[in-house]
Structure 1
Amino acid sequence: MRFSEPVRMSEDGDHSPVWARSKRRRGNPFISLLVTLLALFGVLTAVLGIKEKSLAEGGAMMDGWISSAVSKVKGEAPKVADQAGEAAGAAATRAGDAAQAGAAAASDELKKQ
């Protein structure tokens, strides 16, 4: 009498049955995140399509949200870059002053010896 593979594995003392294995195979987390985001996008599209009674109008609403976010980022990016540049310049000036003060203190210490 021939037994199937799961039966032979269950009768073997070293192996547990195939259906009793606790180890789950996990996929790539990036792929899981991507699939989740696509599913959320699909649900949002369906909800807006129902609300606006047209998928085209729901898509237009999402396009409006995206374009307003992009224009906001484009409008604020130069201002933020200028502020970051000014902060970096001020930090460099303070670091230079601190280095100069340290060098002067070291020079004075060497002159005393």
Structure 2
Amino acid sequence: MPQYVVRYGALRHLGVFSTSRNESYQRGMAVVVRTKRGLDLGDLLCEATERAVQDLTDSTGGQILREVRADDRREMSRIRNQERKVWEYCLQKVKELEVPMKPVDVEYVF
């Protein structure tokens, strides 16, 4: 089965992903991937050749499930809107409770 390097998640992790069947994907495609954290959207960067993966510090990946569809994009938009609401709520609570912390990010998994 072909393997590809995919960038995914808020921290833009890089990983080596196999295909669920014998599909072929192209550089730049948006894909739905299964990682150890769950489902996520990613950007396919290249085939996972020996040269391409030699500089990856942690090539943990998973499986490419499919190319991103319109319903996946709608779900991702809904998730991003929810993240913004949670971010504002967290900032409000930190200020309200006067806790010595600074939130850095909110990320929902697809």
TM-score, L = length of structure 1: 0.30
Higher helix share: 1
Higher strand share: 2
